[in-house]
Amino acid sequence: MTAPLDLPESAVEAGPETVLEGAQSSAIRGRSLGQIAWMRLRRDRVAMAGGIVIVLLILIAIFAPLIVSWLGHPPAEWHREKIDPAIQAPIGAFGGISWDYLFGVEPTTGRDLFSRIVYGARISLLIAFFATLLCVVLGTVLGMIAGFFGGWIDTIISRAMDIFLAFPLLVFALALAGVIPDKAFGMSGDTLRISLLVFIIGFFNWPYIGRIIRGQTLSLREREFVDASRSLGARNHVILFKEILPNLIAPILVYSTLLIPSNILFEAALSFLGVGVRPPTPTWGGMLAEAVHNYDVAPNFMLFPGLAIFITVLAFNLLGDGLRDAFDPKAR
């Protein structure tokens, strides 16, 4: 026996027809996976804060010339009048920090540290984004092929992943970047060094995301919608890119966000070791390498590049964790 419904008097007096018309007028709308994930992400204040910081960093990198023209000086311009000739240290407290030099000046050269931090964001983000793009494209395509076709194709690609994962990447990067001349492949200068770093970081890191995509594809190829596509006569490439790939967007997006900070750190490490972008082009890792010899007289020379790397990596990690929880709340 069921309990009686408690209806308001207006609904009782109006009759069932009016109630049905009112229910039909308020249509029920479904939400897609993206909308549900966005709702969860908006409730995660830490992840949203990381996303805001990332947007600000991208805007700073894009509008670096405009920002420097307002608040700083050209990054390669020397200001020897700001350096004490006796000890080759910045004149003034805290490394020469003032309204004209917001982060102070570099020892020996007197270059504006604020301007070099801003321009360094361009190099770090550019290399990290393009290396991640190359890594994601290779890992996604090869992982999907290995997981979907299986057999000897899966064996070859999986063994290639094992070889790349066992490869001493840092040693190889040091050797390759050290032997490449200043002019090669029709490129020279910063263009050559940036392209080389993008290739090294992106090409040798694809097995990490490739294994994730392979595992997801192995599960998706057994789903009902894939069988339905096969029964309708769809070819393999259509099933891969029309049925399976859209269901891999969430793990690709999450892993890409977590991969970018790793690439930023790797680029900073290569620049710190002297095989990254050549001076005087400013990079955060290169500035840290130069600061090692001057941290005792100008600690801000090491502090600000280190903070830039720390804040950038932390922001991407926070956003990546938030995206992972938004797309897969059961994984918390």
Q: What is the pLDDT of residue 20?
A: 46
244 within some domain: yes
The verdict on residue 2 lying in a domain is no
149 within a domain of the structure (yes/no):
yes
Q: Kindly state whether residue 8 falls inside one of the protein's structural domains.
A: no
For the question of whether the overall pTM of this predicted structure is more than 0.85, the answer is no
HEC string of the chain?
CCCCCCCCHHHHHHCHHHHHHHHHHCCCCCCCHHHHHHHHHHHCHHHHHHHHHHHHHHHHHHCHHHHHHHHCCCCCCCCHHHEECCCCEECCHHHCCCCCCCCCECCCCCCEHHHHHHHHHHHHHHHHHHHHHHHHHHHHHHHHHHHHHCHHHHHHHHHHHHHHHHCCHHHHHHHHHHHCCCEECCEEHHHHHHHHHHHHHHHCCHHHHHHHHHHHHHHHCCCHHHHHHHHCCCCHHHHHHHHHHHHHHHHHHHHHHHHHHHHHHHHHHHHHCCCCCCCCCCCHHHHHHHHCCCCCCCCHHHHHHHHHHHHHHHHHHHHHHHHHHHHCHHHC
- Say if 25 falls within a structural domain: no
Within a domain: residue 46? yes
Over range 173-191, report the average pLDDT.
78
Of residues 39 and 156, more confidence is placed in 156
Kindly state the average pLDDT of the residues 134-148.
92
pLDDT tens digits, residue range 52-106?
A: 999 999 999 999 999 998 988 888 888 877 777 777 777 777 777 888 888 888 8
Which pLDDT score, from 0 to 100, does residue 1 have? 47
Is residue 123 situated within a structural domain? Answer: yes
Number of domains in the chain: 1
Least confident of 19-23, 179-183, 258-262: 19-23
Say what the pLDDT of residue 330 is.
Answer: 56
Residue 139 pLDDT: 93
Boundaries of domain holding 281: 34-327
Q: Does a structural domain hold residue 272?
A: yes
Task: List pLDDT tens digits, range 191-227.
Answer: 888 888 898 888 888 898 999 999 999 988 888 888 8
Q: What pLDDT band is residue 137 in, cutting at 50, 70 and 90? A: very high
Residue 121, domain CATH: 1.10.3720.10
Q: What's the pLDDT band for 331 if we cut at 50, 70, 90?
A: very low
Average pLDDT, stretch 268-284?
83
